């Protein structure tokens, strides 16, 4: 089994055979950018840093300001209420000696909230091709995410193919072919305007004939409110099932991390239409709010497989709850 996940030593289950699980990692000659540093310009981190510096007292005003910070960073009403209720109860019970102690507990709360969605993307042995269907709205970064995924999987020795199922957006097929050329990965495509389900059907057949390990299928961007286009995705899944009843084996929704609470609506509608198994949250570098990840965890519950923290090919990173919170909300004392 190929496990596309960086596990912590204490969380790794004993395996009967070390070959049963492979940890995704870059080649030793490539230095990965520190993606936690990319997150430290976030709105939430800046606001919490300001609170630590300007509000030395444990009181209701501190919690009110923290609530405002969480909501403005797109953490969401439900997740924010859950966090604040716990902090208020503990503060009233005098469990915190000072403001930094409260924020240390806040960090632990946020990590705990994200743990259930920190799950591996597993490419099972004996499933060839392992089909990933990638969906999302226009501009979320689907095609770029596919190119980055193909790069990582190729580096791990997997035989990867791509399906150009976005047949409507101008130059979408050419964009995917460019990624295929960069990664030395074949791309199955048809003419512009071709039926997306037909393209992906042909791609699965081709991947089977070539004994490929993985097929990543692109789809046209569509608004989650467009019922007809959402029905088309359901058709794509039905057509896949004619060649492989178990396909797609992973259905990934790519979400722009800057879309705020609208990301929840996207996730709900796509989940209803095609049954999501994973999320990729992109564009979290720079000054992105980042809090939508907690809202997704609290209200959707679909695993977040990866986050995007930049334009580079290595800037798609495996989601890690503790590292994400550490980047978004540095330890008290390290918030300068």
Contacts of 138 (CB under 8 A, 6+ apart): 169, 221, 222, 223
Q: What are phi and psi of 276, to 5 degrees?
A: -65, 145
- Asked if residue 295 belongs to a domain, the reply is yes
Cα distance between residue 143 and residue 149, in whole Å: 10
End-to-end CA distance of the chain: 43
Residues of the chain predicted below pLDDT 50: 5-31, 335-336
pLDDT at 85: 97
- How many structural domains comprise the chain? 1
Q: Which are the contacts of 315, defined by CB distance < 8 A and separation ≥ 6? A: 33, 35, 38, 148, 285, 308, 309
> Which uninterrupted H or E stretch holds 115?
none
213 domain-assigned: yes
Q: Is 59 within the bounds of a domain?
A: no
- Domain extent for 180: 117-328
Is residue 323 situated within a structural domain? yes
247 in a structural domain:
yes
From CA 262, how far away is CA 37, in angstroms rounded?
Answer: 26
Which residues are within 8 A (CB) of 92 and not within 5 positions of it... i.e. 6 or more apart?
Answer: none
Six-digit token pair at 173? 């097929």
Domain annotation covers residue 1: no
In a domain, 146, yes or no: yes
23 CB-near residues (< 8 Å, 6+ apart): 3, 5, 6, 7
Question: What is the model's pLDDT at position 334?
Answer: 52
CATH code of the domain covering residue 274 = 3.40.50.300
Q: Please provide residue 192's backbone torsions phi and psi, each rounded to the nearest 5 degrees.
A: -60, 140
Note whether residue 267 is domain-resident: yes
Sheet holding 278-282, edge to edge: 187-188, 160-163, 214-217, 130-135, 250-256, 278-282, 304-308, 316-318
Q: What is the pLDDT of residue 77?
A: 92
């Amino acid at each position: 089994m190929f496990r596309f996940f960086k596990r912590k030593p204490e969380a790794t289950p004993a395996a009967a055979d070390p070959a049963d699980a492979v940890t995704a990692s870059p080649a030793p000659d490539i230095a990965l950018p520190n993606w936690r540093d990319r997150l430290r310009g976030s709105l939430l981190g800046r606001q919490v840093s300001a609170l630590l510096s300007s509000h030395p007292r444990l009181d209701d005003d501190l919690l009110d300001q923290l609530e405002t910070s969480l909501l403005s960073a797109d953490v969401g009403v439900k997740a924010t209420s859950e966090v604040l209720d716990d902090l208020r109860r503990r503060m009233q019970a005098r469990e915190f000696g000072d403001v930094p102690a409260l924020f240390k507990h806040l960090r632990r709360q946020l990590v705990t909230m994200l743990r259930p969605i920190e799950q591996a993307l597993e490419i099972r042995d004996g499933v060839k091709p392992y089909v990933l269907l990638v969906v999302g709205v226009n501009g979320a970064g689907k095609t770029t995410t596919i190119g980055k995924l193909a790069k990582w999987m190729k580096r791990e020795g997997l035989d990867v193919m791509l399906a150009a199922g976005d047949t409507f957006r101008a130059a979408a097929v050419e964009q995917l072919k460019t990624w295929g050329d960069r990664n030395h990965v074949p791309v199955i495509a048809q003419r512009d305007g071709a039926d997306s389900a037909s393209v992906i059907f042909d791609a699965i057949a081709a991947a089977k004939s070539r004994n490929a390990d993985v097929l990543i299928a692109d789809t046209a961007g569509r608004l989650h409110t467009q019922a007809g286009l959402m029905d088309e995705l359901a058709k794509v899944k039905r057509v896949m099932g004619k060649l492989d009843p178990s396909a797609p084996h992973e259905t990934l929704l790519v979400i722009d991390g800057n879309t705020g609470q609208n990301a929840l609506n996207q996730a709900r509608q796509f989940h209803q239409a095609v049954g999501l198994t994973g999320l990729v949250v992109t564009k979290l570098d720079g000054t992105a709010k980042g809090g939508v990840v907690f809202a997704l965890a609290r209200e959707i519950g679909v695993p977040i497989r990866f986050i995007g923290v930049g334009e580079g090919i290595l800037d798609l990173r495996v989601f890690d709850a503790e590292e994400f919170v550490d980047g978004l909300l540095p330890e008290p004392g390290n918030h300068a």
